[in-house]
Structure 1
Amino acid sequence: MKKDIRHVRKNIAERKRRKVQQPGSAQTPVFLPPQDEEMHGYPPLIQGMSKKLDHKTQVERTSRLGLQLVLSALLFATVAIGKNAPFSFLDKPEQWLTSQMEEEFPFAKVSAWYNERFGDPLQVVQPKDPEAKENLAMPVNGTVTTSFQNDGKGIVMSTAHNTQVKAVKEGIVIFAGKDGETKRTVILQHDDGSKSIYGFLSTIDVHLYEHVQAQADLGAVQSEEGKAAEFFFAIEKDKKYLDPVEVIKVDESS
């Protein structure tokens, strides 16, 4: 009997020894550092999911690009068909596309809007005095030799040799070069959408997209010795030419 008890105790001790040597069922938890997503309040990404998300993103981008290409092709096809087909409803897409391509970008208006809301950190537009009244003056001192009624676009003035041409109001240069009709020409775009045109210049002192203040020098008109210099001036607003004499007080001669 004693032998059996010793045998049972021996078996129990052996089982305890084996249990201590074998790894337990409850393993020590492994703590991993938080992922970037968890630190920013998003659920952690499961390994292998990033590749699936990247693939999904690429598929979505490809789909959007394909849709844009299809819509562009449809617009082009509609305009092309509208030129050859006698359907009036197809004229509207063509007219809209043409107007968008021909419309001038409103540089002066955008500059004024930016200055009003964000100030002038880059010195693009000088701040205006809200209480100051705008006094317009002619670009040169002289007399009108060709009236607006005769020219249809602007006026031609006679002035002294080597006269500096001034900007009638603040604006941005949208053209500075040679024109087929008015030769050396500068065109200013103003924040109200109007444009002032200065032609027959002998020299140009400004460059494209330069911001100029009112009465700033744009160039000069010169002539042969003993003769008066000619200068062309026009004002355009809403795609219509205005008579400068009605906008600015000038000295007219017959």
Structure 2
Amino acid sequence: MEQGSGIKGRRKERIRSLLDDQREAAPLPLYTLEEDVPSFKEWGRQRDGREPGYEPDPEVLWKQSRRGWMDEGGDGGRPRFTAGLIRRTVASVLVFGAVWGIFLAREPWAVKAQAFITDALSNDMDFAAAQVWYETHFNGAPSFIPIFGEDEVPAEKVSTAHTLSAPLEGSIMRSFADTLYGVEIMPQSDSSGNVTVKSVDTGRVLSVSKEAQGGIRIVIRHTGSLTAEYGHLSGTRLSADDWVESGDTVGWMQETESEAPLLFFAVMKDKTYIDPAEVVSFD
């Protein structure tokens, strides 16, 4: 029994020594696992279930904020176009009614308000001051406004000599100095039958009327603030508001055995009669 006990004791001592040798030879672990260490989601979790340590997705936050800008108070985060349109319409009607009431009133305060509203609606916006403000605060004008940043080119008036064509080929029998109203033109001697009278420039027919002597007078508004009168005509196919081009037929004069036809021609500029020879070449 003593021998068996000694063998068993020596065996235990041998096993203990082998285990000690393995512990000394084994590498140390990089970390130790503890059963009580909480997971990532459990770490920092509050008692109410919220996770303050978790950072939300920025895109989700932006979409939520954008929905708040676009919503018009609809249910479920959906914009309600009809509700917004109704509110804007009501606001517009109220503003219009207020302005209309101000212009109907005759009180001193209403007169001042009328003057302010009229001035605000009739005067142009001072874009130069706005451009200076933008350049001061933002170091440059905004590119999305085309009027900012453009160099203003002063307008130059270009005037060219515009000579009108003669209404017919002939000679001036009575000059502008004699009448201070117009000239009378006799057609060429080789003309026979009806004499065609042509428009001196593009224009619109203002009136077609009968003269006291029985002839027809046509008044045409031409370009360059010129108005021409064609008188002593025998006939015409034009009527008021017709348009004519330079060289189109205005009317005709019929030659008789007793007398040669004379065309009365007058030119008015800025409501003042001028010498037709200054704007029409009769050569």
User: TM-score by structure 2 length?
Assistant: 0.45
User: TM-score by structure 1 length?
Assistant: 0.49
